[in-house]
Amino acid sequence: MSETLGVLNLRSNNFNAAIPDAFPAYCSLKTIDLNGNFITGKVPTSLASCSSLEILDLGSNKMIDNFPCFLMNMPTLRVIVLRSNKFYGSTVCPNINETSTVLQIIDMAHNNFSGELPIQWLTKSQAMMATNKSDHNIKLKHLKFEFLQFSPSVYYQDAVIVTSKGLELELVKILTIYTSIDISSNNFQDSIPEELGKLQGLRLLNLSNNALTGKIPSSIGNMRKLESLDLSNNKLSGTIPTSLQQLNFLSSFNLSFNKVVGRVPGGNQLQTFSADSYMGIEGLCGFPLEKSCPDQVESPKERNSRTGSAEIDWNVICGLVGLVFGFGVVVWPLVFCKIWRKRYYERVDEIGVRIFPRLYQTSFDEA
């Protein structure tokens, strides 16, 4: 049937066996949606025969398998959802020949993937990199399947559920410009690679609930279209890059429960989020947190309002004492010491003769 079938949607049923490894060589499927069942087993390798496959949704099942690297060799694949299964192991795929350049939605959250982030095939997607498109030339298109046997044409509208800004949303129409990566709640380790900043067309990035270490790469500031960034519940260290202030479209940000230190970068972006975005980070300081940074100088007004009482400004008092002492050292000898006063005026005359010799000569002649 899949030689002529374009859409296979068995979503939200009670299927509880493995997917048969029996896809034919001339598979014509463009959409496979098996989300929300009790499917077990592995991803069948014969699925690679579906050379026109665009959407694969196997989320919310009970599948146990390694990461199916052969999917990354399917050039038409746009959406891959493996969310909430029992996939495990590394997602690094050494033998990738023709990675899809149109990948736009990747959801591998709530599994047991580990190792490094799969940057080598993530950065192959032109849809996420947005290198050859400008905002003015993009047309709002969405994925759809046309039934050619009907006249006028009838379309099947693909849909997928994504988690954005902490909420599950159903994309009834999957816009071709919508891009997201959700690999949260796994066991990814090591640092976040700088190459991730190449994905300048990405709109949602969720790396939360992993074991990522190292510093937050400053290249994330290049991802100017990001609307949601979640790095919470990792082991990230270092300071928050000031380049994140350039993310003008960022409306959801969560860095809580990490090991970063220093000041929250100023500006109009990162300081607009509530203190909850930085919860559980003892080393951070500055607005919007209540903890002030060590080098942050408070004005007397702010200090008095914080303590509730007036305090003596010792810096001002020390300055006044120094001024009075210096003035006394110079003026007191001139007033009360005749020898010091005489030598002072003689010295002034000598300097005057050197600077204005003619003026002093004329005054001497007249005298």
One DSSP character per residue, 238-266 reads SPPPGGGGG-TT--EEE--SS---EEPP-
Written as six digits, the tokens of 85 are 């299964």
Tell me the β-bridge partners of 284: 262
How far is residue 201 from each of residues 40, 66, 145, 170, 272, measured CA to CA in Å?
A: 35, 28, 25, 21, 23
Distance CA 229, CA 94 (A): 28
pLDDT at 365 over 70: no
- The pLDDT score that the predictor gives to residue 40 is 96
Average pLDDT of the segment spanning 322-331:
67
- The pLDDT score that the predictor gives to residue 120 is 82
Distance CA 297, CA 186 (A): 42
- The pLDDT score that the predictor gives to residue 211 is 95
Q: Is the CATH number of domain 1-296 3.30.450.30?
A: no
Average pLDDT of the segment spanning 9-35:
91
Confidence of residue 278 (pLDDT cuts 50, 70, 90): very high
Confidence of residue 160 (pLDDT cuts 50, 70, 90): low
| 26-30, 57-61, 234-238, 336-340, range with the lowest pLDDT | 336-340
pLDDT at 242 over 60: yes
Count Cα atoms within 13 angstroms, Cβ side, for 258: 30
Which DSSP letter does residue 40 get? B
- The pLDDT score that the predictor gives to residue 154 is 44
Confidence of residue 338 (pLDDT cuts 50, 70, 90): low
* Percent of the chain as helix, strand, coil, to the nearest 5: 25, 20, 55
Confidence of residue 98 (pLDDT cuts 50, 70, 90): low
Q: Which residue has the higher pLDDT, 121 or 160?
A: 121
108 near 181, Cβ under 8 Å?
A: no
115 near 69, Cβ under 8 Å?
A: no
What is residue 81's three-state secondary structure? strand
Mean pLDDT of the chain: 78
- The pLDDT score that the predictor gives to residue 147 is 46
CA proximity to 43, closest of 77, 12, 13: 77
pLDDT at 366 over 70: no
Confidence of residue 296 (pLDDT cuts 50, 70, 90): low
Distance CA 329, CA 332 (A): 6
Written as six digits, the tokens of 35 are 């989300």
How far is residue 276 from each of residues 211, 227, 272, 273, 280, measured CA to CA in Å?
A: 21, 18, 11, 8, 9
CA proximity to 241, closest of 213, 262, 272: 262
Distance CA 37, CA 11 (A): 7
pLDDT at 364 over 90: no
Which DSSP letter does residue 219 get? G
The C-alpha angle 126, 127, 133, rounded to 5 degrees, equals: 85
pLDDT at 148 over 50: no
Question: Phi, psi (5° rounding) for residue 129?
Answer: -80, -30
- The pLDDT score that the predictor gives to residue 317 is 77
* Residue whose entry in the numeric block shows the structure tokens 């298109």: 141
Round to the nearest angstrom and report the end-to-end CA distance of the chain: 127
The reply to whether omega before 118 is within 30° of 0 (cis) is: no
Average pLDDT of the segment spanning 252-277:
87
Distance CA 304, CA 104 (A): 54
Written as six digits, the tokens of 114 are 């580990």
Helices 314-336 + 338-355 axis angle, to 10: 90
**How many CB atoms within 10 Å of residue 62?**
13
CA proximity to 2, closest of 37, 58, 46: 46
Distance CA 71, CA 73 (A): 5
pLDDT at 357 over 80: no
In sequence order, which residues have a C-beta less than 8 Å from that of residue 137 and are 6 or more positions away?
A: none
Average pLDDT of the segment spanning 72-98:
87
| 176-180, 301-305, 341-345, range with the lowest pLDDT | 301-305
Distance CA 208, CA 188 (A): 10
pLDDT at 175 over 60: no
Distance CA 182, CA 204 (A): 8
- The pLDDT score that the predictor gives to residue 307 is 47
- The pLDDT score that the predictor gives to residue 152 is 43
pLDDT at 201 over 80: yes
Highest mean pLDDT out of 41-50, 115-124, 260-269: 41-50
Q: Which residue has the higher pLDDT, 45 or 121?
A: 45
